[in-house]
Structure 1
Amino acid sequence: MAAPELEISKIGQIAINVQDVDRAVAFYRDVLELPFLFRFGGLAFLQCGQVRLLLEQPPNGQEELRNSILYYQVADIQQAYATLQERGVDFIDEPHMIAKMPDHDLWMVFFHDSEGNTVALMCEVRQ
């Protein structure tokens, strides 16, 4: 039986590794004039058109990540996870809720692409 269509609709979020989150927020918000959305722990989120930017500092003692992480938005994260598992994708974790927002729950799952880069699927489940 063929796997169902994946239906990736857009890039929903891009993570940018920074040395200082506060300094980076000031740059992206004040210099580039991107709308600031919110902070969640040590993470900061801004909007760039239809794409959300995540500014994060790698945890102490960990090697800085070399790439940005593309977050592909899907309508059904469980279905997309199952489809990609059938296609042999190397998942780092299972779909899980990252945060409860006022109008939706944010779900993500992370995997490696063919070159070993970390990539993610994200899904905003409306309440």
Structure 2
Amino acid sequence: MQTNLIQKVGQIGIPVKNLEKAVHFYKEQLGLPLLFQTGNMAFFECNGLRLMLSLPEKEQFTHASSVLYFQVDDIQSTFEDFKKRDVTFIDEPHLVAKIGQTETWMTFFKDTEENTHAFVSEVQGETVSF
């Protein structure tokens, strides 16, 4: 039996059409630390996970990226804070699952390249009401 060689996701690549606009969004609006920018790429730190923004090298890679789920502690205050930063949300925080006493809440937003991402929060205890 083969053991699993994959330990964790270390980097996620996000194709962009306008690198400077995307760098501004991830740095200024989402508040992620910019590690470095070189050529057609920019790299951000997200608590041990590196995000790479890049201009696609070939036409076949010029599509929207996978959904990134950013873990947050308090989804409602995060939602309110990022709305003030002009992040475009496509819904409001909502309950997506309840397993035992753990509730999973999400809200989805768009970046400057029309990629959809989400904030997710797991809440312990009684139902959260907004």
Q: TM-score, normalised by structure 2?
A: 0.48
Q: TM-score, normalised by structure 1?
A: 0.49
* Structure number having the greater strand percentage: 1
